[in-house]
Amino acid sequence: MNTPESSGPTEADPLQVEPERGENSAEVAPVQGLNVMAVVSLILALVASPFTIIFGYIAVGQSRRARQRGEGIAWVAIGLGWFWLVAWVVLGITLGTIWFEL
């Protein structure tokens, strides 16, 4: 029988039960600084470089692993990078078609 003097937690009192620390327990770490690769990918996106796609995906992975800010910036840069990649391909096809028609 569990008496108030007993040291073990009782099933009737859930406040005394300590949570188990296992592999599935998630401890939230504080968010650290801004991811530099996300800023680099955004700068590349603003200068119309399709390489921003690569840097953006790397920045997303880094910011998730290191719990850094900048994941949103990286996703914006990735979107702009895909836009610029499609624009460069369309421009290349258009210029190539005009060149071969001359």
Q: In the predicted model, is pLDDT for residue 3 greater than 80?
A: no
Q: What is the pLDDT of residues 10-65, one digit of tens each?
A: 555 555 655 555 555 556 666 788 999 999 999 999 998 888 999 999 999 999 99
Q: In the predicted model, is pLDDT for residue 76 greater than 80?
A: yes
What confidence tier does 9 reach under pLDDT thresholds 50, 70, 90? low
pLDDT at 102: 79
Contact 50, 84 (CB under 8 A): yes
Q: In the predicted model, is pLDDT for residue 85 greater than 90?
A: yes
3-state secondary structure 57-98: HHHHHHHHHCCEECHHHHHHHHHHHHHHHHHHHHHHHHHHHH
| pTM of model > 0.85 | no
List the end-to-end C-alpha distance of the chain, in Å, as a whole number. Answer: 98
